[in-house]
Structure 1
Amino acid sequence: MKLPLRHLVVPAFLFVCLLLGGSPQGIWRHLILQLGGLALIGWALLALRRSHLTSAGRLLLWLCGLWFALVLVQLIPLPPALWSGLPGRAVAVEGFTLRGEALPWLPLSLAPAATLSTLPLLAVPLGLIVAVVVLGAYRSRWSVVALVVGACLSVLLGAVQLSQGGPYLFANTNIGAATGLFANSNHQATLLLATLPFLAAMIGYQQQDGRSRQPAAVGRIVSALGAVTVIVLGIILNGSMAGLALLLPVALASLALALPGQGKLPRLLAGLALVLLLGAVVGIVIFTQAGSNVSSAAERSEIYRITLRAIADTFPAGTGLGSFQAYYRLYEDPALVNSFFINHAHSDPLEWVLETGLLGVLLLGALLLWWARQAIKLWRAERPDFVALAATVASGAILAHSLVDYPLRDAAIQAVFALSLAFMAEPRSHSAERGSRSRGGQRSPRHLTLDDVSG
């Protein structure tokens, strides 16, 4: 099969994100990724009118637009009488009073410069979403290949790091751990967990309609199983508590995709995986109440307690995106401060609520509602779309890990999560794909098809 160059755009950009986006460290790394994301967004804006969007895709784009609008709303200057009366602004008012200055117009954000700096960070996830939903500049098979190759490279690098004591790609990192392409070993585990269901999707598709007996299909299944072995070994070598706790539910959900045929068993396995996923999250939260590897004086339970207190003091206004570090300092006990510093809440939802307030809660709730509705719809479909189903598992694993960590602060995990949401918004059943190829004037399907696999 001759593959148009445009269909390599998403796989190539995803692979670059995995290579360069393993940490917020590195100005040039992120400049390259952000410029790439902006180029995709610009391309999509030019092609938007000619695109045929699904209803789920259109709604996902609206959610992306609201995310962008939220940042802008936090930067709008407000009159002194308005912003000074908002919760959590007493410190700012006191500062101007002590200096004998009149209160100026200030925005909703307490750290407007930091909030403004978050705008370029939106380029990578938004770029990937529009590249799939609007441009269709991908093939699922090659996107999965890019993800698997990146994950396996990260595992191999992690194994070298454990055996040789390096090399590590970032100055601030978990020395002595298998971090791979990341600075944080826990985020390496997140990538590996998100890769497993896509490998299972490849296996499940090869077994559909009895194709598993074909020599080419057998070879692809063996290759996928080999990659699964590498990924699982990588999770074990990584040693992340969250990664190990989430491995069983993710493995069960992936097994539901890999099993031949349809029927009730895959859905039962998926339901059991969901129950175990919830149990794993609860177990991780309970375990982190007892201790943490951050420092003895900054256990995660203490971080959560302080963050919740700050949320209570600033809700519903929030403190502004990017303001966590500065605002958290106001609540720390000076007697307990040492060489360790807290840069994140170790819970993306808690940090999001602190920084965005009520508007952020509403937006997060809308995204989760969209995700749940799409996941239920996809798992109930008569004809499964293996890649879209894998995307529900991968994004679910990332969301679960985000409850007790901050993997979505890395551009690499943002890319995988955004791509998963886009795949969920653009499901293509096998029969629908074949039909759409025969109709002129519409985009060709981009998820796994017989032609994709056999070409």
Structure 2
Amino acid sequence: MAIQLVALAIMALNRQAVSQFFREAPRALVGIVLLSLALPLLQIVPLPAAIWQALPGRELVSQTYDIAGIDGDSWFTWSVDPVRTLVAFCSTIAPAAIIVIGWSLSSPMRLRLALTLIVASLLALLLGAYQLSTANTSGILQAISPDTNVLYATFSNRNSTGIFFVIAAIIVAALPSAGRSGLLLAQIAAGSLMVIATILTQSRSSMALLLVFLAFLTLRLGAHFWAARAPARKDAQTPKGAAQASRKAVYLAAILGLAMVCAIAASLAFGGRASSSVERFANLDTDRTEVWEDGIYVAQRYWPVGSGTGTFDEVFQIDESLEYVSLARAGRAHNDYVEIAIESGLLGPLLVLAWFVWIGMAATRRTGDSDRWLAFGAAASLACIALQSGIDYPLRNEAMLCVAAIMIVLLFPPRRAVR
């Protein structure tokens, strides 16, 4: 609540920037943002009994009314739990504020925003290192039962921690090429620390997403090296400066990369923390596929309108298969696309598709800009979130929602500074 109230206050203090977004931003982007905010709000608008009772799956609500002695002709909402849906709407306030105000930021300010994210990731890593040094008996910020060998940092879920560090590594690789050896070395060291931090989270999905980081880093270095060898290109640096920067980048990256590979190999050979992380790939459970199977059935019950944003935990328990019931409670679908289909019916997946299309188009339009690699890094980071959403729920917490919003801001075209 504190974060959401601060976000509202920031928008109130930056009314010009908010107005500028709605005046100047592309209509498609404005429309997607407004629809993302409006969907949960529409789901909590009271409807006459003749309408809400006709919605799929609402016979359970009618039965509950009868048991509770409530008049069945009372008005009720599209959502089967309007309070949870209201909470879900409130979680969109902070990322919406980042996107709306971020539109007016100049390119240097967006670079500063990216650097701030990297500094935050380094501070989170320091906290995680302290946690691990105490076997996670101290420094944990949430009321959880932590694994003694897992790096949690500021999160309570290893998968969220892992993808946060993957995104930080990609943004480090996307930063403008440093002209001095010291800055370049710091950039490579920070990226290496992010990779190590991801491995220490023991998140299988996040470790797999490091392949996206490696692919992006390869393209980044390859493009930089090609630009240095073709000074006639419009976006090339001076021949000497470009060649030196390229050689430094390639040599330093190769040396540090080799050192990191050797360290990970040694950890694997002697049973270190990296070994524990890799061993988790040999223990693939089937619980998630069982939840997905039941989740698809639940989505069909409420299709095509959905049960209401944020209501998964209420409606899933009703239709969970008895043969899949265990001591653990499926509080999430562990597949955001299935969960969105349950909660928002047809509109939710269509809205997700609209975001995918906009992100792809925004990235392709940045190919000729001087800071295009920062935009490409943001697109790659959002792709990581989209991939992990297939087996987890990275955007079901406020922090990662705000990180995703920052990536959206980095995709915006260059703008002049606004007073």
> Shared topology, TM-score over 0.5?
yes
Contact 1:174 1:185 in 2 (8 A): no
How many Å apart are 1:220 and its aligned residue?
A: 1.4
Counterpart of 1:427, as a letter, is P
Of 45, 54, 63, which residue of structure 2 is paired with 1:94? 63
Unmatched runs of 5 consecutive residues or more in structure 1: 1-30, 207-211, 266-286, 293-297, 437-441, 445-455
Correspondence 1:427 to 2:404: no
Question: Which residue is equivalent to 1:14?
Answer: none
Correspondence 1:443 to 2:412: no
Question: Which residue is equivalent to 2:372?
Answer: 385
1:294-313 Cα shifts (integer Å, max 9, x gaps)? xxxx8001111111110111
Contact 2:341 2:348 in 1 (8 A): yes
Contact 1:353 1:361 in 2 (8 A): yes
2:76 is paired with a residue whose SS is: coil
Contact 2:375 2:410 in 1 (8 A): yes
Q: Work out the CA distance in 2 between the residues paired with 1:33 and 1:363.
A: 25
Question: Which residue is equivalent to 1:376?
Answer: 364
Q: Work out the CA distance in 2 between the residues paired with 1:99 and 1:145.
A: 55
Question: Which residue is equivalent to 1:397?
Answer: 384
Q: 1:47 to 1:250 in 2, by over 3 A?
A: closer
How many Å apart are 1:136 and its aligned residue?
A: 5.5
1:165 is paired with a residue whose SS is: coil
Q: Structure 2 length as normaliser, TM-score?
A: 0.79
How many Å apart are 1:55 and its aligned residue?
A: 4.6
How many Å apart are 1:353 and its aligned residue?
A: 1.6
Q: 1:32 to 1:97 in 2, by over 3 A?
A: closer
Q: 1:238 to 1:113 in 2, by over 3 A?
A: same
Equivalences for residues 35-50 of structure 1 within 5 A: 35-49=5-19
Q: Work out the CA distance in 1 between the residues paired with 2:151 and 2:372.
A: 34
How many Å apart are 1:93 and its aligned residue?
A: 1.9
How many Å apart are 1:401 and its aligned residue?
A: 1.1
Q: Percent identity?
A: 26
Question: Which residue is equivalent to 2:329?
Answer: 341
Q: Work out the CA distance in 2 between the residues paired with 1:194 and 1:66.
A: 26
Q: Work out the CA distance in 2 between the residues paired with 1:173 and 1:147.
A: 28
2:345 is paired with a residue whose SS is: helix
Question: Which residue is equivalent to 2:43?
Answer: 74
Correspondence 1:192 to 2:165: yes
After TM superposition, the structure 1 stretch with the greater mean CA deviation from structure 2, 356-365 or 224-233, is 356-365
Q: Work out the CA distance in 1 between the residues paired with 2:39 and 2:14.
A: 21
1:317 is paired with a residue whose SS is: coil
After TM superposition, the structure 1 stretch with the greater mean CA deviation from structure 2, 38-47 or 165-174, is 38-47
**RMSD of aligned Cα (Å):** 2.8
How many Å apart are 1:257 and its aligned residue?
A: 2.5
Of 346, 350, 368, which residue of structure 2 is paired with 1:358? 346
Of 144, 147, 151, which residue of structure 2 is paired with 1:175? 147
Q: Work out the CA distance in 1 between the residues paired with 2:409 and 2:319.
A: 39
Q: 1:326 to 1:50 in 2, by over 3 A?
A: closer
Counterpart of 2:37, as a letter, is F
Q: Work out the CA distance in 2 between the residues paired with 1:389 and 1:344.
A: 31
Q: 1:299 to 1:51 in 2, by over 3 A?
A: closer
How many Å apart are 1:383 and its aligned residue?
A: 4.8
Correspondence 1:331 to 2:319: yes
Q: Work out the CA distance in 2 between the residues paired with 1:137 and 1:110.
A: 44
Correspondence 1:241 to 2:204: yes
Q: 1:92 to 1:234 in 2, by over 3 A?
A: same
Question: Which one scores higher on RCO, CA 8 angstroms, separation ≥ 6?
Answer: 1
Q: Structure 1 length as normaliser, TM-score?
A: 0.73
Contact 2:334 2:392 in 1 (8 A): yes
Contact 1:115 1:320 in 2 (8 A): yes
Question: Which residue is equivalent to 1:151?
Answer: 121
Q: Work out the CA distance in 2 between the residues paired with 1:145 and 1:383.
A: 17
Q: 1:374 to 1:50 in 2, by over 3 A?
A: closer
How many Å apart are 1:81 and its aligned residue?
A: 1.7
Question: Which residue is equivalent to 1:22?
Answer: none
Contact 1:257 1:390 in 2 (8 A): no
Unmatched runs of 5 consecutive residues or more in structure 2: 230-279
Q: Work out the CA distance in 2 between the residues paired with 1:126 and 1:138.
A: 21
Question: Which residue is equivalent to 1:406?
Answer: 393
1:113 is paired with a residue whose SS is: helix
Q: Work out the CA distance in 1 between the residues paired with 2:115 and 2:294.
A: 42
Question: Which residue is equivalent to 1:321?
Answer: 309
